[in-house]
Structure 1
Amino acid sequence: MQSCRNCRRLRSFIRASENVRLFLSGWKFFFLALMGVLSACGNGDTLESFGGPTMGSTYSIKYVRHAGLPAPDEVRVKVEQILADIDRQMSTYRSDSDIERFNQLPANHCQKMPAPVLELVRVGEQLAVQSDGSYDLTVEPLLNLWGFGPQARGEKIPTAEALAEARKRVGHQHLRIEGDRLCKDTAVEVDFDSIAAGYAVDTIAASLEAMGIHDYLAEATGELKASGKKPDGSPWRIALEEPRDDQQVAERIITVDGYGVSTSGDYRNYFEQGGRRFSHTFDALTGAPVSHTLASVTVIHPSALMADGLSTLLLILGPQRGWDYAEKHDVGAFFVIRADTGFVTRSNHAFERLSGKKTE
């Protein structure tokens, strides 16, 4: 992962007696999903719910069970198989995963890979090219060096010599796909943390749809996708969190139907040294954590995978370059920017359109 998922109180938006409030925490950000009461409605539909641990965090599935649809235990088995497959293919925290076995290979070697891994490599290549190399899936040596990666040895500012050595093993241009094999010409290491959870959500959503479930909210490590309505006919409502270290406060509530939502922020995983703050959001071009005023970015996109990657990309680019990118590519984006008096927010027309609201 290159980036790990304001002041109004939640009760200003909803009454606790009408909604169940649940914070969803992930690698990169925190969402507050506003659910309807978990009870049967007049038409016999119920809102089923289950979840558990995944990817070092948690997942949560909520769906409306109409007559004839699978019971939660049956759905859970399918979902957890998807998550187990993704972990086996893409985790950098287990030495036997497909991607970690590739990472351990020396330069000028190839390895046969499952189709999902190759799909994510292609997405990473697309985002790397579009960001002129600032976003890059091969930043794991930098993450480890600065103390944020799976092989980290403590948080610290590296020496110039150590940084120069690590940067030799970073660069999407060192990867290539040959048929069903992933190859490298330098000893690069691939880290899917900025897109794997979004991919998981899309895969789970597709599985739910295949089972005839069209009203659901699927979330993994904070990345989510919502479709349809709750049992009472109201939309799924998501509260975006203010980027604060001390508490969780809803910044804004949006409605979601048919879209993935992802937030990337620099305010949960960081260290301070010499009076400076260093987050786990890296610009691959500089080899260092970003140092701008953009605190978090939320992206709405038809694909949770793309929302996941794009929220990271925009956070890396910062408040102006990121905004320009979102406008150029019609990406629905909501920015939270640090200011002298706290935070200021900025959203574009695409975000307002996709979140069910119109810009003034």
Structure 2
Amino acid sequence: MLIRWQGVAFLLLGALSGCGNGDTLESFGGPTMGSTYSIKYVRHAGLPAPDEVRFQVEQILADMDRQMSTYRSDSDIERFNALPANNCQAMPASILELVRVGEQLSVQSDGSYDLTVEPLLNLWGFGPQARGETVPTAEALADARKRVGHQHLRIEGDRLCKNVAVEVDFNSIAAGYAVDTIATRLEAMGIRGYLVEATGELKASGKKPDGSSWRIALEEPRDDQKVAERIIAVDGFGLSTSGDYRNYFEQGGKRYSHAFDARTGAPVSHTLASVTVIHPSALMADGLSTLLLILGPERGWDYAEKHDIGAFFVIRADTGFVTRTSHAFERLSAGKTE
């Protein structure tokens, strides 16, 4: 199974109901990626039976598990990760697509975001091969950093190659990719109104049977209770939140987050508690929310404004939390696309 390392930070609002035109709101879900998924969609005459829709969705999730899971040794990516330096392996198109997205985000963040941080995750206690949460020695950290860096990967035709024994981890973008893939499959089956969610990443399109919008509450980053920071209507966009408030440990009075800056090899240390990104692609929303969390409240804000990214920042302050939104977030959450 894939294990997510981002916090779920959305509350789905609105009752499941039908309306007088005969349309109904179908829903189903289950376990995936170490968490859960849920599908809600508007069914009308002529659409496939709910069992067929569920079969198609779960086939996509099963395929992703076989290809991308870092928790099963027979997955495509784990077989690649086990290879020594200077080797190549044929890969499905989905993996090559995610590697290219990872390269794009790595370049745009000057190397802060990187898909090859698994040795660091394991070393600090957050990865699939972790042996306890602990602050590593300088020597161990230096050794792990030798095996980190997107520049050590290359694509040759349908093969993924490496010149150093790097290990690829898709957990920062896999769920967004799954959401986009499921949404595309639903649309191919004639479904126009839907809300797809996997491990907290989501995409919504169309309207509910009563004509109302899919409404999403952005959750305040708290462990003790769920509090809505803001409620937005979503149509045709993906949403992703990354936060440091549900996966961390403390040692010597210092807090260590699961979010890593690949340039330093250490967890980030800043006041940004969470960031939500709205984007036409759930995949890009997923990756960008991680990237902005790594960059922090100042660098992340500048990046979002420079690249016209819809981002909602929740920042720790002495009195609690303060929020800040990019201009693109205000525009997109209001339903404006220009």
Q: TM-score, normalised by structure 2?
A: 0.97
Q: 2:173, 2:287 within 8 Å by CA — same for their partners in 1?
A: yes
- 1:29 CA displacement: 2.4
> Are the counterparts in 2 of residues 3 and 266 from structure 1 also a CA contact under 8 Å?
no
Q: Aligned equivalents of 2:130 and 2:239: distance in 1?
A: 29
Q: Supply the AA of the counterpart residue of 2:37.
A: Y
SS of the residue 2:210 aligns to? coil
1:268 paired with 2:246, answer yes
Q: CA deviation at 1:2?
A: 11
Q: Tell me, what secondary structure is at the counterpart of 2:57?
A: helix
Describe how 1:54-203 pairs up with structure 2 within 5 A. Answer: 54-203=32-181
In the alignment of these two chains, the number of paired residues is: 335
- Preserved contact between residue 87 and residue 163 of structure 2 (Cα < 8 Å): yes
Which residue among 192, 205, 213 is the counterpart of 1:235? 213
Q: Do the aligned partners of residues 219 and 3 (structure 1) sit closer, same or farther apart at CA in structure 2, a change above 3 Å counting?
A: closer
Shift of 1:30: 2.3
Shift of 1:357: 6.6
In the alignment, structure 2 segments of 5+ residues that lack a partner are none
The answer to whether structure 1 residue 34 and structure 2 residue 35 are counterparts is: no
Deviations for 1:207-248, whole angstroms, at most 9, x for unmatched residues? 000000010000111100000001110100000110012111
Deviation at 1:94, TM superposition (A): 0.5
Distance in 1, Cα, partners of 2:19 & 2:223: 39
By how many angstroms is 1:72 displaced? 1.6
Map 1:339-354; keep pairs closer than 5 Å.
Answer: 339-354=317-332
C-alpha distance in structure 1 between counterparts of 2:44 and 2:8, whole Å:
32
Identity, in percent, stands at 86
Q: Give the structure 1 partner of residue 294 of structure 2.
A: 316
Q: Tell me the residue number matched to 1:4.
A: 5
Q: CA deviation at 1:3?
A: 8.5
**Amino acid corresponding to residue 56 of structure 2 in structure 1:** K
Secondary structure of residue in 1 paired with 2:328: helix
Q: Is the 8 A contact 2:175 2:201 kept in 1?
A: yes
Question: Runs (4+) of structure 1 moved beyond 3 Å?
Answer: none
Provide the TM-score with structure 1 as the length reference. Answer: 0.91
SS of residue in 2 equivalent to 1:117: helix
CA RMSD of aligned residues (A): 1.3
Aligned to 1:224: 202
1:50 maps to 2:28: yes
Aligned equivalents of 2:180 and 2:242: distance in 1? 18
Counterparts in 2 of 1:258 and 1:147: CA distance versus 1, 3 Å: same
Counterparts of 2:302 and 2:266, CA distance in 1 = 22
Q: Matched residue of 2:13: which SS?
A: strand
Partner of 1:307: 285
One-letter amino acid matched to 2:136: P
C-alpha separation between the residues in 1 aligned to 2:104 and 2:304? 15
Distance 2:135 2:4 in 1: 17
Confirm or deny: 8 A CA contact 1:2 1:282 kept in the other structure: no
Instruction: Give unmatched runs, 5+ long, in structure 1.
Output: 6-27
In 2, Cα distance between the equivalents of 1:348 and 1:326?
Answer: 7
Indicate if the aligned counterparts of 2:3 and 2:34 stay in contact, CA closer than 8 A. no
**Partners of 1:32 and 1:45 in 2: CA distance:** 24
Distance 2:253 2:216 in 1: 35
Match of 2:225 among 235, 239, 247: 247
